[in-house]
Structure 1
Amino acid sequence: MRYKWALGLAMLGVAAPAFADAWDFILTNNTGKEIKTIEVSPAGANQWQPNKVDDGEKAKPIKPAGRTTIHFDKSATQCKWEVKATFADDTTAVFPAVNLCDASFVTIRYANGTPAATGS
């Protein structure tokens, strides 16, 4: 009986992720510029991780007013994430943190020349 109980606990430990969960959200580009790449970082951490794409694939540019799915590893304790866009003209912008625990859709844009982001 004890053997079955221990085996059950061991199997639960194997199934649980050790450090991070794979997460995703839909990004809408309302910046007016084509985006080459998207990276995300926990708010204030400056630890940028690129959008994960399937092996052998390359991230596709995001046209103005376009949408795409962003895949990343979410730490277990962090909900607020910043979004960094690298545009076709090689300029970059960091958009303010969005609570990705509660938002499945993120829109990035400029408000009076300042990067802005909203989640829903």
Structure 2
Amino acid sequence: MKKLGFAAFLALCFSLAAPAFAGQQDFMLVNQTGDPIDQFFASPASSQNWEEDILGRDQLPDMDSVTITFARDTEACLWDFLAVYPDGEEVVWHDINLCNISTVILKWDEKNERTYAVVE
């Protein structure tokens, strides 16, 4: 499992970055899980480490979204995600191709009791 740390992901930030500095991997993260997300990590699929918590000190409330912006020179297209909920539960998604999508919607499947991602 990837470990938190290794700050090579510092170029990733919220939508406050100017579009001129945006990378092709930029996406909107939408939380439709029914719970706030405490932490959210993304790292290149080829990495053995989780990068910094994208949300920082903030939570991503249910039914809210945030735009994740990458540095223009970011090259990786395949990324892994880790969402951490306030109760400590973790959900991981692998090999999300951020070069081909613009939105990642996290949803809760009550029937199967699992969180899943829809990409657009």
**Partner residue in 1 for 2:6:** none
Q: Which aligned pairs between 1:75-90 and structure 2 lie closer than 5 A?
A: 75-76=74-75, 78-90=76-88
Say if 2:40 is the partner of 1:38.
yes
Question: What is the SS of the residue equivalent to 2:26?
Answer: strand
Change (3 A) 1:72 1:94: farther
Cα distance in 1 for partners of 2:57, 2:67 equals 10
Larger Rg over CA atoms: 1
Cα distance in 1 for partners of 2:54, 2:69 equals 5
Amino acid at match of 2:78: K
Measured after TM superposition, the shift of residue 109 of structure 1 is: 2.1
Measured after TM superposition, the shift of residue 34 of structure 1 is: 0.8
Amino acid at match of 1:109: K
**Partner residue in 2 for 1:29:** 31
Tell me which of 90, 103, 113 is aligned to 1:92.
90
Higher deviation after alignment, 66-75 or 30-39? 66-75
**Partner residue in 2 for 1:70:** 68
Amino acid at match of 1:93: V
Over aligned residue pairs, what C-alpha RMSD do you find?
A: 2.7
More helix per residue: 1
Cα distance in 2 for partners of 1:36, 1:61 equals 5
Amino acid at match of 1:35: I
Deviations 1:22-76 (A, max 9, x none): 55321001222111111012236442122557xxxx4421111211122456742
The answer to whether the 8 Å contact 1:31/1:110 transfers is yes
Q: Where does structure 1 lack aligned partners over 5 or more consecutive residues?
A: 1-20
Task: State the identity %.
Answer: 27
Change (3 A) 1:31 1:52: closer
